[in-house]
Structure 1
Amino acid sequence: MFQRKLPADPSALVLAIVALCMAILFGCCGLSFVGLALSIIGLVSANKSLKEYLVNPETYSHNSRENVNTARIINIIALVINGLITLSFVVYLVITGSFMFSAIRDEMNKSKNDTLSRVDDEEWDYEAEEDSIYIYTDSLNQPQDSLNQE
């Protein structure tokens, strides 16, 4: 009796190896999400093939089952590695973005406060000048005797 290969025998193994290589080679470049997608596709196809083997074990070869099981294990390893790299990259982007946003917000608030304080200072100086003019004119209008008495 002729025994066939499982449907995911070559493809799941190729996807597992490519996903693992992408994690090792391109993980630092932010391309680990591609390896993550490849490992998920490989894992799903390997699991489907293993379920198919459990339904009809006599139809498929034992060697093909071992290959798919190996591909499943490598896909799980690639999934974990790519997932950790992707998660750390996302956390890095969120932290960097929040620092940049807070710096931009602080700079905008600083420029608003500087503008408002300059306007308030100018008004206050104007009022202080007016008061000093009135005090000066009042002292000029007072007779000299009243100034000496004080």
Structure 2
Amino acid sequence: MNYNKLSADPTALILGIIAFVIMVLGFCCGLVVFLSLILGIVGLVLSIKSLKDYDADPSIYSPQSKQNVYVAKIICLITTILSSLYFIVIVVAVVFYQVGISDVFKNKLEKLNNTQINDSIYMEEEIEEIYNNDSVYIDSTFVDSIK
């Protein structure tokens, strides 16, 4: 008998292997894992479609072709799940990192403002000591007294 290959027989397997390799490299390279996620999803969709074609009429397709597409489906599924989890971890880390950075800047700004407020309080005390004997304090303004 002359059997046909499924439409995603070589393609889904190649996409799954490339996605898996990129995913493994993506663990050290960061957002490259997004490319692995896309390739894994495309390979998964192609393999699912081909397996539905096989289920519709198994007599015209090779059992070896079905097995290749099934292996591609498993590889793409594992790659898609792991890549999406890693992508979520990266996004959460970036969000927390940004929140942490903003907290650091906020704390530095508060310390700077507190320092300026404390300096201004000390400055007012010094001014009061200087002008205490010969000045009258009226409505936040120092007025020299007449002697």
Question: By the TM > 0.5 criterion, same fold?
Answer: yes
Please give the range of the TM-score, normalised by the shorter of the 2 chains. 0.7 to 0.9
How big is the alpha-carbon RMSD for the aligned residues of Structure 1 and Structure 2? Answer: 2.0
The one-letter amino acid paired with 1:117 is N
TM-score normalised by structure 2 residue count: 0.81
- Cα contact 1:16–1:71 (8 A) shared by 2: yes
Aligned to 1:4: 4
Of all paired residues, the percent bearing the same amino acid is 34
Quote the Cα distance in structure 2 between the aligned partners of 1:7 and 1:115.
Answer: 72
Greater CA drift, 85-94 or 32-41: 85-94
Quick one: distance in 2 between partners of 1:132 and 1:4?
Answer: 108
List per-residue Cα deviations over 1:109-142 (Å, max 9, x = no partner): 22222223322321232123322456xxxxxxxx
Q: What are the within-5 Å matches in structure 2 for residues 6-45 of structure 1? A: 6-30=6-30, 31-45=32-46
Structure 2 unaligned blocks of 5 or more: 136-147
Distance in 1, Cα, partners of 2:38 & 2:64: 27
Inter-partner Cα distance in structure 2 for 1:6 and 1:27: 33
**Residue-pair matches, total:** 135
TM-score by length of 1: 0.79
After superposing the two structures, state which structure 1 stretch, 69-78 or 109-118, moved more: 109-118
More helix by proportion, 1 or 2?
1
Q: Which amino acid aligns with 1:6?
A: L
* Aligned equivalents of 1:124, 1:6: Cα separation in 2: 88
Q: Distance in 2 between matches of 1:130 and 1:3?
A: 106
More strand as a share of residues: 2
Taking the aligned partners of 2:117 and 2:96, their CA distance within structure 1 comes to 31
Match of residue 71 from structure 2? 70
Alignment of 1:1-150 (within 5 A): 2-30=2-30, 31-133=32-134
- Supply the distance in 1 between the matched residues of 2:55 and 2:133 (Cα, whole angstroms): 99
